[in-house]
Amino acid sequence: MPLPDRIVIASRKSRLALWQTEHVRDLVMRAHPSVAVAILALSTRGDEILDRSLAKIGGKGLFVKELEAALADGRADIAVHSAKDVPVALDPAFELAAILEREDPRDAFVSNAHAGLAELPRGALVGTSSLRREAQLRSRYPGLDVRPLRGNVETRLAKLDRGDYAAIVLAVAGLKRLGLGGRIRAVIDPEVSLPAVGQGALAIESRTGRPDLRELLAPLHHRATAACVHAERAVSLALGGSCQVPLGAYAEIAHGSMRLRGVVASPDGARVVRGEVRGGPEGPERAGEALAAELRSRGAAEILAALQ
């Protein structure tokens, strides 16, 4: 199948999003030197509305709608996303054409005065952009004052540096990609804060029915990461996951076996349900559905019903 001579990549305008898109551009050009690649930078509602939490304004899908519109009307051929920002119930008009090898998926503790969560004094103000982190931190450290923190990575770090927060929690991957790994005081163990679905992985979206783009992107696709991400997405899809649900899912593959962990919590952290399944990576969606069923049986159904 002939490959396209030129492609356009849609991207958000944030520094991190552009880094991710430029990274994909460079990988495509390295794999296909004859293909010209351009970037279309767009502003999204998720980037523009910063005074309310994502859960209250429609969820992470606000980061992808404008990019999908560019795919739909032909202004762009592919879009680059953080996999954790892609809604698990994807519009059938679009598909994930490739998923790149994962960076560290864990959460990072960032502070100018404290070495870790356990070192924070009672009542210390901790900022984070995710309900998932909020709920898990409130459960494990009930003496902390955990509050929402919106904005891009640089904005959140600036709020920490001017003293608005004693500490903030960000994704390890984003800090590393921006060359800010030195700001990480501690990496948070998944047993304390289980990562978000797809965290640390980059997903490339295209219109459905573009086998030429799948072939173009095949050298970038990482099968093990894709299996993990699809398993995690299946957990969230089966549980009706969204930004309104404090939910984490994290899959790892070692020695040919997948370990898939999940957590569902009430926003205040008062109720936390955890579960785990193991299986082969060849059936990631089945593993995700099995874990979702286990979580429901352990009490996640009641938590989810209360959030409706």
Instruction: Express each pLDDT in 284-297 by its tens digit.
Output: 999 999 999 999 99
- Domain 6-102+200-221 of CATH type 3.40.50.2000: no
Whether pLDDT at 266 is above 80: yes
Which residues are designated catalytic?
85
Instruction: Express each pLDDT in 158-177 by its tens digit.
Output: 999 999 999 999 999 999 99
Q: What are the domain boundaries of the chain? A: 6-102+200-221, 107-188, 234-307
Give the range among 21-25, 56-60, 282-286 with minimum mean pLDDT: 56-60
Query: Do the first three CATH levels of 6-102+200-221 and 107-188 match, i.e. the same topology?
Result: yes
Average pLDDT over residues 12-19: 95
- CATH of 107-188 among 3.65.10.10, 3.40.1410.10, 3.40.190.10, 3.40.1390.20: 3.40.190.10
According to CATH, the topology of domain 234-307 is Double Stranded RNA Binding Domain (3.30.160)
Instruction: Express each pLDDT in 168-223 by its tens digit.
Output: 999 999 999 999 999 999 999 999 999 999 999 999 999 999 999 999 999 999 99
Whether pLDDT at 243 is above 90: no
Note the pLDDT of residue 52: 47
Q: Strands, DSSP E only, in the chain? A: 6-12, 36-42, 78-82, 94-99, 107-110, 125-128, 145-148, 167-171, 186-188, 202-207, 247-254, 257-265, 272-279
